[in-house]
Amino acid sequence: MHTYLSGRVVVDCADTAVAETLVRAVTAELTGRDPGPLHHSCPVCGSVEHGRPYVEAPVHVSVTHASGLTAVAVSRNGPVGLDLEADSDLEWVRREAVGKALGVGLTDEHAVAPIWQSEVAIPGHVAVVALVTEEAARAAASRAATRRTVR
């Protein structure tokens, strides 16, 4: 189920716990080539075991899991965040999507308005995808790095 949202983001979901297959398929469709493995990078602790997902392609990636589903969003238009919850509050899911787009997760410090957002039709779930500016994502990462060094 590929969903193209306003020409900005491609979203797909499957009944699987493995996001890499979905990310690679959607990215390959968007770019015309296999982007290779899915990597992670945490702006807070520097770990490669968790954090913002990325591939070796000129796209931005977001991954979310809920109720036996994995959903991914891939965009060429800027940092993207996708959140998916079963029977959840729409405003909460929007905040989570923006936090993922910023690359820092959900914190009280990011009251950043996305440059674009859309609800995603996934039966039995509330899902939102959001784009933020590169500048907002860099600023959020910088704040996260500052918090890391202050601790």
In tens, the pLDDT along 19-28 reads: 999 999 999 9
Band of residue 63 on the pLDDT scale cut at 50, 70, 90: very high
Q: Which of 105, 52, 102 is nearest to 78 (CA)?
A: 102
Q: CA-to-CA distance for 40 and 38, rounded, in angstroms?
A: 7
Judged by phi (left if over 0) then psi (alpha if -120 to 50, else beta), residue 68 lies in left
Total tally of structural domains belonging to the chain:
1
Domain of residue 27: give its range: 3-150
pTM of the model: 0.88
Residue 104 has pLDDT above 90, yes or no: no
Residue the block writes with tokens 């392609």: 57
pLDDT digits (tens, 9 = 90+) for 64-75: 999 889 999 999
DSSP class per residue in 46-62: --SSSSEEE-SSS-EEE
pLDDT at 149 over 70: no
Q: Distance between CA atoms of 15 and 58, rounded to whole angstroms? A: 27
Dihedral over Cα of 6, 141, 103, 88: its sign: negative
